[in-house]
Amino acid sequence: FYVFLVTATEEYIRLKKQVCSTERGEKMIKSRLKECLDICFAKGVSLGLWSEKVKGRYTVEKPKHAGQGDFATNFAMVAAGMEKKNPRELAAQFVEILTEQAADLVDKVEIAGPGFINIFTKDSVWQEALTQIITLGNSFGPPDVGNGKKVLVEFVSANPTGPLSVG
C-alpha cells in the first residue's frame, strides 16, 4: 500500500507541475479542464479517496441542456460503479479538490442528479481562448489527423426509401 501511495503522490505532483494555472492560453479550454480533472483524480488517489481503477475512464463533455454548466464530467458515476461507493459522496470529494486545484479556471461547480459534476468556467478563460484564436488567425485549428497520409473518401447515393447497409 505504501508503494502505491508514493507512486500516486508522485503522479499527482508531476501532473500539477505540468498543468492547471501554469500554461494559460496555451491549450484550449476543454483540454485544460481535462488535465485539471486528471490532476484532481491523482490527488484523490494519493489521499486514498478512490483507486487508480477509474483512471482514463471518465469524460469531459458539453452538457446537453443550457444551465448545466460549460462542461460536465461523469467521474463520480464511473468511479461509483467501480469502487462500489455512493456517487454523490464521490462527487462532493472530487468537487472539493477541483475547486482548490482549478481556481483560475473554474467559476462554480455543481453536483447534479445522481452524481454528475457540472462545471462553470470563468469568463476570463473564454476571453483568453478568444484572444489566442484571434492571434493565430487562419493558422488556428488545422488538423494533424492522418499526419499527411492520403485517404480515400467515397460518397454514396443511398435510396431514401430503403434501409442503408454497410458491406
Q: Across all residues in the chain, what is the average pLDDT?
A: 81
Q: How confident is the model at residue 128 (pLDDT cuts 50, 70, 90)?
A: confident
Q: Which of 27-36, 82-91, 107-116 has the lowest mean pLDDT?
A: 27-36
What sections of the chain are H helices per DSSP? 2-18, 29-46, 75-83, 87-101, 123-136
Give the closest residue to 47 by CA, choosing from 92, 11, 5, 4.
5
Cell of 118: 457540472
Answer yes or no: is pLDDT of 21 > 50: no
Q: Which is higher by pLDDT, 138 or 73?
A: 73
Cell of 70: 460549460
The per-residue DSSP string of 79-118 comes to: HHHHHTS-HHHHHHHHHHHHHHHTTTTEEEEEEETTTEEE
Residue 167 DSSP code: -
Q: What is the pTM of this model?
A: 0.69
* C-alpha pair distances (Å), 140 with each of 84, 129, 144: 43, 11, 12
Mean pLDDT of the 104-125 span: 94
pLDDT value for 158? 72
